[in-house]
Structure 1
Amino acid sequence: MADKRLFILAQPDFPKTKGFQLLTRFMQGHREIKVSFATRTAHLAAALATGECDLIFAAGLTNQAHALITDQEPYLAVLPTPLVSQLGLSMATTVSLDQLAEQNLLLPSQGHPLRRELDANFKMAGTPLPSVEEEDALDLRLTKVAQFLGATLAPQSSLPTELPAGCQLFGLSPALLSSQGFLAPAQPSETARVFLEWLQEQSGQ
């Protein structure tokens, strides 16, 4: 193997995922491959397309070719406190997709894998998406929620331990699941191929 380096770009919550645990196990058994990763909040797919990395790890890859899903977790809704009062919600209740569809939603842009997954989820539930303000960076979306500019949705593990003041967290009804995993280009590097084949072996056990 000429190039024994594997570079992965991942969403910020990557170290908290099963995908990261699997990568750690791979590194322990393949010490000849120097594995490294970096995190960013947006434009992961673009980085993969331009050859900036060997693989990406992101949410919303369910229908992508060359993707291996490692994690599934619930989406949660983050609502501004005044909206919680308006909707008559308590901390023990969930928010329905119909209720969300009546609000201004802050979501990733159309090209973001997470957005494609959300669009598909809402379509499957028969609930049209409302007017959407697009912002890829979750921290900026949360800041806007705290300013009562809308509500947002995010996979559970990607949310910070402490939300900004003025934000409240709710489950969804019906529940939406986020799929996360590794995505390779159509012609992966040799090290990426070794890792993906190893991942497939793990899923078969």
Structure 2
Amino acid sequence: MIEPYEVYKLYLAIKLHFTTKSYDVVKYKGKVRVKPETFRKRKDMVSIKKLARDYKREEIIDFLVANFVSGERWGGLFDIQASKRYEDWKAKKNQREYLFQRDVSKILLEMEKQKVGAFFEKNGKQGLTFRLYFGRMIEIETLVILDKIFDFVEETDDILLEDVVLLVKKYRPFVKVTDSMREVAKTLTQ
């Protein structure tokens, strides 16, 4: 069992990672400055202790990532839907290759329909892939995988894209790309 204080430090590290541009949980190896006294004064100890009791360290990281990625600004600590979001996220993670292949097929179909030559546009413009994501036709993980393969997501001044660009960049360390995903992604450039 992981200690509640360690859970709290994980929570802070992952929260900083997903909510700020400057903190990188991988670069800093999850280290955050927090005094045990600060932790003991918290009023949300029940939630933190419950996570420590119910999950292993890696599961806690996944739990927090799943909730921050879904847009939950507290990482699911205070939300009764947090466990459901985590279970849904795990199910998607287990089907990631299938979902990616499905999403790439959707992108190819839309490229053909709209007579678009590339699945992405540079220069901070909202390309086809982002439009499909905003239309809930493809998963955020598909954007992350494509970005890890093609490095096409770039900083932007576009208010509509700004939050998604940050999310894609911050989610990258938590999404694995397989060789079969790379092969599927190649179909977008042929």
Identify whether the pair has TM-score above 0.5, normalized to the shorter chain.
Answer: no
Q: Give the structure, 1 or 2, with the largest relative contact order (CA under 8 Å, sep 6 or more).
A: 1
TM-score (normalised: structure 1): 0.28
Higher helix share: 2
